[in-house]
A and B are shown apart, each in its own frame.
Chain A
């Protein structure tokens, strides 16, 4: 239960809490004890990373993301009725699917739920409950992909000391979430949909370019020059919705402390580094620690880890991946 609480609080924006002495299991205490005495040479770690260039999960993820979005396009242009609609709501070979956040906005604004919408919402809820919640973000959302490219430019500029990254308080996303929910409820309009880059991009991909893409471009420029991955980290209520779903998901990334060198490369590539707090030396409370709900299951940390200390897990089905 403690994991859920910590996971939820982090999702809402609280900084990860340091574990107390009695949170640690005896096994992990022993590992931490031995690691304290162990000398790790920087050269050794560097050498280990030099020989390790995996993009396995990133490539699979990008392929999935592109295929899913192309499926919408192909279905429309060739009229094959495979995946009709857009990411906000669609029909997969006839079955209704509705994005949870879009559906929530409509329900709050319209204050009336038709059966089809309910079916679509429940279907998508179960789907992402099984698939990890925020895995929607990194494996499907088209904005995530373009933001990843923008992030590369941002990091390059930061490295050249041309710009500085500005962080925000992560709790602001919770404030956004509540605000957009209240706005929809009070105004009777789906206010968030107006500025949702996910919806705008998805529709633009399927139905053709719109002026609304200007807003998406603005967001990307903001992320390049001002704040790294700002939309996904601090604003997007869609991510928050799927994060809550992911809280209960059996599909997650699990950290194993045994062979980890704690060099922190995984936290550097992570969109939501706070979820990787257990990888800091002496923080893991057990030999195997599941990563929290805010994790988008993107797999960048798994790719970057030379010691194989991070891996996907489907709880109950041992080591299927």
Chain B
């Protein structure tokens, strides 16, 4: 473009001022601004998909939880399950869980579900069926599946016993010791143990406890339906020919993944942990 032409443009602009409809201009700005607002808010909300898609925080869900994506869809994020849990095992996820914000989970190492309510109160409390109402008894649950993650740390595998308080006096996890109080869960740190071979995971397994109670003719809540059909965990002798008495905690078909074993495992980190991935298929 030459300078002459440029000047010419200027002259015409001066002689004939462009008709600017200020109102229209303002309206256009308003619409544009509103579109930006819409894009911004929808964008922020869509970001909630990232932690879900990337599984930043794989969570152990409360008893009866549907398959993960269905669970996120159906949970109304009210926390009624949190309120009814007698051992306060259920927590609500924060914003770093994206779409999972406000959705309940269990941090088994901190506080496992020990089914001390017998009645699956969290399921009963759930208003949307995100915790499936079709489950009635602890043995029907499959939250996850226990796995001996660190056999090298496991006291039983080392042929060691256990004396004292589980995880020290600082640990304030709760567990229902029925023989002490049927209704009131006790602090785990109030219990003293003196075991020749550590079997804390087995003796704290809610399924094994139920089986023992049923065999003694005293099913939980006096309901024979509470009796689990399959064992969940047992210690099996393992001989490596070094003269040591080794016991391996073997997780069995009846494991419901409640995480009680992970909570009470005295090693740091826990030798036995819950696998979340094996929720759906039976192992």
Contact = CB atoms under 8 A, between A and B. Distances in A.
B30 A91 contact: no
A215 B47 CA distance: 13
Contacts of B80: 84-85, 89-91
A29 to B, nearest CB: 31
Contacts, number: 158
A116 B128 contact: yes
B45 A175 contact: no
Interface stretch (B91-99, B190-198, B218-226): B91-99
A117 B127 contact: yes
Given A172-B34, A188-B73, A189-B72, A98 B127 contact: yes
A90 B78 CA distance: 7
B48 A195 contact: yes
Nearest to A213: B95
Contacts of A109: 73-74
B48 A168 contact: no
B73 A190 contact: yes
B37 A214 contact: no
B51 to A, nearest CB: 10
Interface in B115-142: 125, 127-129, 133
Interface residues of A, number: 56
A102 B34 contact: no
B82 interface: yes
Identify whether the interface residues of B are mostly helix, strand, loop, or mixed: helix
Interface string B13-57: 000000000000000001101110110011011101100100000
A110 interface: yes
A180 B46 CA distance: 10
B79 A215 contact: no
A112 B125 contact: no
A103 interface: yes
Given A96-B127, A169-B30, A199-B77, A190 B99 contact: yes
A194 B74 CA distance: 14
A191 B102 CA distance: 12
Contacts of A203: 77, 79, 92, 102
Interface stretch (A18-26, A204-212, A284-292, A311-319): A204-212
A114 interface: yes
A175 B38 CA distance: 8
Contacts of B102: 88, 193, 199-200, 203, 212
A211 B179 CA distance: 41
A290 to B, nearest CB: 29
Given A167-B30, A187-B49, A102 B95 contact: no
A137 interface: no
Given A110-B74, A187-B49, A195-B44, A212 B37 contact: no
Interface string A161-199: 000001111011001100110010001111111110001
A136 interface: no
A227 to B, nearest CB: 8
A215 B45 CA distance: 11
Contacts of A176: 38, 41-42
A189 B49 CA distance: 9
Given A191-B99, A203-B92, A114 B129 contact: yes
Interface string A109-137: 11110101100100000000000000000
A97 B95 CA distance: 25
Contacts of A75: 83
A191 B74 contact: no
A87 B116 CA distance: 28
A210 B38 CA distance: 25
A195 B70 CA distance: 19
Contact of B38 (A116, A179, A193, A200): A179
A88 B77 contact: yes
Contacts of B33: 166, 168-169
A193 B31 contact: no
Nearest to B74: A110
A75 B72 CA distance: 26
A210 B95 contact: yes
A235 interface: yes
Nearest to B95: A212
Contacts of A191: 45-46, 48, 99
B134 to A, nearest CB: 11
A187 B98 CA distance: 14
6 contacts: A166-B33, A188-B70, A189-B49, A195-B45, A199-B77, A212-B94
Interface of B: 30-31, 33-35, 37-38, 41-42, 44-46, 48-49, 52, 69-70, 72-80, 82-84, 92, 94-96, 98-99, 101-102, 125, 127-129, 133
Interface of A: 75-76, 84-86, 88-91, 96, 98-99, 102-103, 106, 109-112, 114, 116-117, 120, 166-169, 171-172, 175-176, 179-180, 183, 187-195, 199-200, 203, 206-207, 210-212, 214-215, 230, 234-235
